[in-house]
C-alpha cells in the first residue's frame, strides 16, 4: 500500500470524527510543497535512499519528519531545494518544479526556502545582527555585503531578533551565544529571507532539553503566525509528539506512518524505530 503523507490517520480506536487540533492549518489553501513518488539514489549502483515518498505541506502547519539516523530525512529536505539527485518522481516547492530548474531558478527557489540546521551555521566572528542580515542577501546586490546594509534592512533584522527573543544580543559576536540563542539567530536569519517554507533539519539535536523545547515552540509559532509550512526533522519521538501538528514517520526511505499528531501515539510510531535500526547506531 502506498501511503501519502497527507492521508488521514492510521487506524484509531477513537470513533469520533477527528478534527485537526490546530485550526491555523489551512487545508483549503494549496500546499506549498508537494512530493509524489519520490525516489532518490546517490549513485547508480547504490540502493534507493528514498523509495516512493509522498508529501504535502500546507500553509501554517508544523510537520515533524521522524526517523532514525540514515532513514532519509536530510535527503528528503535536500530534494526540496534541488540538493539531492532525484531518480524519479515529482518535487514541487514554492511553485517551482524542482527537478526541472536551471541554476538561476534554483537560486530563486533557495532564496524562498528558509533553512535551519543542527549546527546553526552562523558566522561566529560576526555580530548577531549581521548574521541575520545575511539572510536577506539573496534579495540584495553583493555591494550590500558587510556594513553597508540598508537601514530598512537593519530595522527589519532587529525586529526579527525581537521576534525570536534575543534583540538584546544584536551586537554580540555570534560565537559568544549559547546554542539555543544561536539557533534563534539562525531562525531570524531564515525569516529575513521572507521564506515561503521553512525546513529545519534536526534543529535541536545539539541542544539540551529545555532549549530544544523553546526552539521547537518558536518554530511552531512562526508557522502559525506567518502562515507558512515548517518541516522539522527529529529523531526523538516525544519531541515530535509534543511540537507538531502532523507527523511523518520515515524508515529506510519509506513513509511507514503518517497522520495528525493528536491521532498518533508512541505505539503507532514504534515501527519507525525497529530493532535493526538501533543496531547500527
Ligand atoms: N551525499 C551522499 N552520498 C551517498 N550517500 C548518501 C549521501 N547522503 C546521504 N547518503 C546516504 O543516504 C541514506 C540516508 O541519509 P540521510 O538522508 O542523511 O538520513 P538521515 O538524515 O535520516 O540521517 C544513508 O544511508 C546515507 O548514508
Ligand atoms: Mg540527517
| Per-residue pLDDT tens over the stretch 199-234 | 999 999 999 999 999 999 999 999 999 999 999 999
- CA–CA distance, 251 with 49 (Å, rounded to integer): 10
Residues 90, 229: one domain? yes
Asked whether the predicted pLDDT for residue 8 surpasses 70, the reply is no
User: Considering the domain boundaries, does residue 59 fall inside one?
Assistant: yes
Find the domain containing 145 and state its range.
120-194
139 pLDDT band, cuts 50/70/90, is: low
Instruction: Give me ligand 1 centre to Cα 111, in Å.
Output: 24
Residues 26, 163: one domain? no
User: Considering the domain boundaries, does residue 3 fall inside one?
Assistant: no
Residues 98, 210: one domain? yes
Closest residue CA from atom 13 of ligand 1: 70
Residues 61, 95: one domain? yes
Residues 95, 211: one domain? yes
Instruction: Give me ligand 2 centre to Cα 120, in Å.
Output: 14
CATH number, domain of 227, equals 3.40.50.300
Other CB atoms within 10 Å distance of the CB of residue 249? 27
Instruction: Give me ligand 2 centre to Cα 17, in Å.
Output: 35
Residues whose beta carbons lie less than 5 angstroms from ion ligand 2: 73-74
Number of domains in the chain: 2
Other CB atoms within 10 Å distance of the CB of residue 235? 18
Q: Which residues pair with 148 in a beta bridge?
A: none
Residues 108, 132: one domain? no
- CA–CA distance, 26 with 5 (Å, rounded to integer): 16
C-alpha cell at 43: 549513485
Q: Which of 194, 219, 235 is the last residue of a domain?
A: 194
Asked whether the predicted pLDDT for residue 140 surpasses 80, the reply is no
Site residues for ligand 1, CB cut-off 6 Å: 42, 49, 67, 69-75
Residues 231, 161: one domain? no
Q: What pLDDT, on the 0 to 100 scale, is given for residue 18?
A: 41
Residues 104, 224: one domain? yes
pTM of the model: 0.88
User: Considering the domain boundaries, does residue 4 fall inside one?
Assistant: no
User: Considering the domain boundaries, does residue 12 fall inside one?
Assistant: no
Say if residues 177 and 126 touch (Cβ distance below 8 Å).
no
User: Considering the domain boundaries, does residue 9 fall inside one?
Assistant: no
Residues 33, 106: one domain? yes
Residues 102, 29: one domain? yes
Count CA atoms closer than 13 A to 214's CA, side-chain side: 13
User: Considering the domain boundaries, does residue 80 fall inside one?
Assistant: yes
Residues 217, 265: one domain? yes
Amino acid at each position: 500500500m502506498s501511503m501519502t503523507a497527507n492521508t488521514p490517520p492510521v487506524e484509531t480506536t477513537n470513533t469520533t470524527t477527528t478534527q485537526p487540533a490546530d485550526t491555523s492549518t489551512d487545508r483549503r489553501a494549496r500546499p506549498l510543497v508537494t512530493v509524489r513518488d519520490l525516489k532518490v539514489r546517490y549513485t547508480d549502483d547504490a540502493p534507493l535512499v528514498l523509495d516512493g515518498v509522498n508529501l504535502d505541506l500546507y500553509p501554517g502547519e508544523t510537520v515533524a519528519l521522524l526517523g532514525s539516523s540514515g532513514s532519509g530525512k536530510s535527503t528528503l529536505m535536500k530534494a526540496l531545494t534541488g540538493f539531492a539527485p532525484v531518480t524519479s518522481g515529482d518535487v514541487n516547492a514554492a511553485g517551482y518544479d524542482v527537478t526541472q530548474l536551471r541554476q538561476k531558478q534554483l537560486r530563486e527557489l533557495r532564496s524562498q526556502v528558509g533553512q535551519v540546521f543542527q549546527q546553526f551555521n552562523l558566522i561566529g566572528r560576526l555580530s548577531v545582527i549581521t548574521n541575520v542580515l545575511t539572510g536577506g542577501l539573496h534579495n540584495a546586490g553583493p555591494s550590500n555585503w558587510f556594513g553597508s546594509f540598508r537601514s530598512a534592512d537593519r530595522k527589519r533584522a532587529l525586529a526579527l531578533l525581537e521576534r525570536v527573543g534575543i534583540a538584546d544580543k544584536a551586537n554580540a559576536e555570534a560565537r559568544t551565544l549559547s546554542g539555543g540563542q544561536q539557533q534563534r539567530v539562525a531562525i531570524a536569519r531564515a525569516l529575513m529571507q521572507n521564506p515561503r517554507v521553512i525546513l529545519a533539519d534536526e534543529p535541536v539535536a545539539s541542544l539540551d532539553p529545555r532549549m530544544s523545547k523553546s526552539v521547537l515552540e518558536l518554530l511552531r509559532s512562526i508557522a502559525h503566525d506567518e502562515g507558512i509550512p515548517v518541516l522539522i526533522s527529529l529523531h526523538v519521538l516525544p519531541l515530535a509528539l509534543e511540537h507538531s501538528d502532523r507527523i511523518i514517520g520515515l524508515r529506510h526511505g519509506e513513509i511507514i506512518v503518517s497522520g495528525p499528531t493528536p491521532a498518533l501515539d508512541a505505539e503507532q510510531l514504534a515501527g519507525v524505530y525497529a530493532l535493526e535500526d538501533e543496531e547500527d547506531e
